[in-house]
Structure 1
Amino acid sequence: MAEEEPGDDIVAEYLGQNPHLAPWLESLRGYCETNKQWNARREFILRNMEAFPTVEPGVSSPSLDKLLSLSMAWANHVFLGCRYPQPVMDKIKEMGEGVKVQDAPVWKTRDEIMGKGKRSLDGNSDSGAKRSKSSSDDKAGSTKWGPSADAPATHQPFFNRLYKAVAWKLVSEGGFGGPNLDHFEVLRSCVETAKASLSCVFVPLKDIPDLPTARAQREGQVCELRCQTVYLGTGYGRDEAAARAMASKEALKAFQGRKVIVKIGRRRFQGRDVEDVVLVDDQTRSSTFPPALSYPFQPEQSCS
């Protein structure tokens, strides 16, 4: 039998009195969250719902997005040691008062770690200090730029909601394979309903070095779609509108499975491998993605 967390009884009692909230709450759970992490964040959400009176279960709204963002920031701080600007830290600590987490990790700041290391370094010889500096330089040179390890868990709740919106939209439009289906319009309207926006990057087909030679010789455009920095799909066409339509069709394919999954994948960008946050379905078998058209996490360009 699993060990109960400190707040389990309180949450269970509350949900027993408000059973209609249970399915909605479960839909907010991140795909990568453990039971301990979710139980704590669920209690955080319930404790702070009164501070967001416009939040309605099952209804997307800016207030709900803010509450979920703060809950994720709090969980990331507690379980992963993430830190945010001081006003955010003050806010989530205040909101998290009363939420008990058993065996919570203990994190040290960089200054605390470096402060301890400095005392031992002061007692070393000059050659020891040089060796330490050399080691630090080597580590700095090998720093890997890319998404944070918690990026998938941060984005998963949003795409869980988007998955449901897309599923209903496709049903109302006659299905994914409908002859007159405007894939871009379906995706754009669902994203906007979720209070977000799509971003597009266009590059001439001939300017992409990582494509096969036969394709690279063709005229046309390539479009890459993203939402909240997460890669959705790439499409090729004779012009920007056609490329965007094909990219939207590829992106919607991820919504044909039983669920969508946000994960970190590897892609080629200007001849080198980079990490990127990507959206896939639960049936995806291949880990190969089209080359990136822009370096991940650059400022996004909205689709019009």
Structure 2
Amino acid sequence: MAEEGPGDDIVAEYLGQNRHLVQWVESLRGICETNKQWFARREFLLRNMEAFPTIEPGVSSPSLDKLISLSMVWANHVFLGCRYPQPVMEKIKEMGEGIKVRDAPVRTTRDEIMAKLRRPAPSDGNSDSGIKKSKPSSEDSDNKGTPKPSGAPPKWGPAPDAPATHQPFFNRLYKAVAWKLVSEGGFGGPNLDHYEVLRSCVETSKASLTCVFVPLKDIPDLPASRAQREGQVCELRCQTVYLGTGYGRDDAAARAMAAKEALKAFQGRKVMVKIYRRRFQGRDVEDMVLVDDQTRGSTFPPALSYPFQPEQSGS
């Protein structure tokens, strides 16, 4: 009996919709691969095909050779514990994100063993448990009454390194969304629930969406054609990063349009977290925004929420 992996149902569904790929992908199976190894590596191949747009099923090419090689490296690491140079390990781990292998071998490396053996003994100033107590940071001191430096206004906006910090998560989310859209028949499918696609992929990536709703009539500086219209506006964020804004007659319709706008960024070859200037409550602020790799203008709708406001001191 075939040993099916956790992702086999979606792979079978995808191959059912793309029957021309079935025979070709089966031709890539190694003669000594077990069912478990092949099902996992097959999913790796199918998930990453879109990253190699020059691949044509049934046609040999350098791109296909590279993808096959990376899939074998990934399988060797997962099933045999093989190690490779760090750049290669980072590459295959990124490409294999989201693939779940049932009962995958778990191995402890020599470095991990040595690190445990070299664990430092607790010093005199630490507790009996051996856990080092962290020193109060300047932020902690501020919260305990130490006055903050005066003169400079409080800073609004994300930290300069925030986009780089968030980028790995959205790289993973991009792959999850791309795979989900393929299985659903594409972005323009007549019955596609854009919000459900986005929500399920975000939750699969161990995060959640934030939805903010504001009545349309409460938004200032609207064009005259919309100033008197009823309805709701929805803004979507994930991990404080702005994804999209949508308008509708009610919350559900506005949320659906916001999700559709957000998913447009996932139609490019990659997504990027960048800092852009936006309007919020009548002032220009810096905000983190998810965009694709295509050249586009930097004009975005006014922010309905802003997670980077400086802390307000108590009166």
Q: TM-score, normalised by structure 1?
A: 0.56
CA distance in 2, matches of 1:203, 1:240: 9
- Corresponding position of 1:209: 220
1:216 Cα offset (Å): 2.5
Match of 2:245 among 234, 252, 256: 234
CA distance in 2, matches of 1:218, 1:258: 37
- Corresponding position of 1:165: 176
Q: 1:59 to 1:179 in 2, by over 3 A?
A: closer
Match of 1:25 among 74, 85, 90: 90
**Which protein shows a greater Rg?**
2
1:291 Cα offset (Å): 0.3
CA distance in 1, matches of 2:282, 2:299: 15
Q: Number of aligned pairs? A: 188
> Which ranges of structure 1 fall in alignment gaps of 5 or more residues?
1-14, 30-56, 62-89, 93-108, 111-135, 299-304
CA distance in 2, matches of 1:149, 1:171: 35
**Match status 1:243 vs 2:308:** no
Which aligned runs of 4 or more in structure 1 are off by greater than 6 angstroms? none
Contact residue 166 and residue 186 of structure 1 kept, 8 A: yes
Q: 1:23 to 1:222 in 2, by over 3 A?
A: farther
Contact residue 83 and residue 89 of structure 2 kept, 8 A: no
Q: 1:170 to 1:261 in 2, by over 3 A?
A: same
Higher relative contact order (CA 8 A, sep 6+): 1
Q: 2:91 corresponds to which letter in structure 1? A: E
Q: 1:264 to 1:253 in 2, by over 3 A?
A: same
Residues 149-175 of structure 1 show CA distances to partners (whole Å, capped at 9, x for unaligned) of: 011001000000000000000000000
Match of 1:223 among 220, 234, 238: 234
Q: Any idea what SS the aligned residue of 2:212 has?
A: strand
Q: 1:197 corresponds to which letter in structure 2? A: S
Q: What are the residue-to-residue correspondences of 1:11-22 with 2, within 5 Å?
A: 18-19=83-84
Q: 1:240 corresponds to which letter in structure 2? A: D
- Corresponding position of 2:58: none
**Match status 1:253 vs 2:264:** yes
CA distance in 1, matches of 2:93, 2:133: 21
**Match status 1:183 vs 2:248:** no
Name the structure where helix makes up a greater proportion of residues. Answer: 1
CA distance in 1, matches of 2:190, 2:85: 39
CA distance in 1, matches of 2:185, 2:88: 27
Contact residue 97 and residue 172 of structure 2 kept, 8 A: no
CA distance in 1, matches of 2:277, 2:261: 18
Q: 2:83 corresponds to which letter in structure 1? A: N
Q: 1:26 corresponds to which letter in structure 2? A: K
Match of 1:58 among 94, 97, 109: 97
